[in-house]
Amino acid sequence: MEPKVLFRPVGPTELALIEASGWKAFPPRLPDQPIFYPVLNEAYAVQIARD
């Protein structure tokens, strides 16, 4: 089985929290955020984060 790269779309606020962790952890999910699902396409991940 080939490894897959998964993308998690994030906005600027969440990205800042990830950076603050030393790029080692995602912050806890906010109550209004949907449960994480993997995205296999970088372009789609960018679209989700942007929109």
pLDDT at 19: 95
pLDDT at 21: 94
Both structure tokens of 4? 């897959």
Contacts of 26 (CB under 8 A, 6+ apart): 8, 10, 14, 17, 18
Query: What confidence tens digit (pLDDT) does each residue in 20-48 have?
Result: 999 988 888 777 776 766 677 888 878 87
Give the distance between the most distant pair of CA atoms in the chain.
35
Both structure tokens of 15? 């990205």
pLDDT at 37: 66
Mean pLDDT over 12-23 rounds to: 91
**Residue 8 banded pLDDT, cuts 50, 70, 90:** confident
**Which is more confident, 16 or 51?**
16
d(CA 35, CA 43): 20
Angle at CA 9, nearest 5°, toward 36 and 17? 90
